[in-house]
Amino acid sequence: MKTLIAALLIAAPMTAAAQDARVVTDRADFVALVQGHSLTQRLLGVALRVTEDGRISGEAMGGTVTGSWIWQDGYFCREMAWGDREFPLNCQRVDLNGDLIRFTADRGAGDDATLRIR
């Protein structure tokens, strides 16, 4: 079950409208998008806050999510913990499509997760 939840935290489908998404490559642009908002995926009970000072906090499926992030070479690089599960540092491509933000692991070559900016 934990493996499934972890996979869902990293990979959630993005809508077909993603063809119009733009890549976010600038830290200031990213911060402007997420600062003061929650990143959510209601079906899984995901609600995360990503703050300008490099913190990640929130919850997913009733468990606490904590972590930290930096912006490096145009990528969102984060490490996180969900409950007792650790997710090591991974740099992710960020795409924006309306109020949907997609994080794609391994610098855009891996699994992706799509969250709504609220």
Q: Which domains does the chain have, with CATH numbers?
A: 2-12+21-117 (2.40.128)
The DSSP secondary-structure symbol of 22 reads E
In this predicted model, what pLDDT tens digit does every residue of 46-66 receive, in sequence order? 999 999 999 999 999 999 999
pLDDT at 25: 98
What's the count of helices (H) and strands (E) in the chain, helices before strands?
3, 9
Predicted model pTM: 0.83
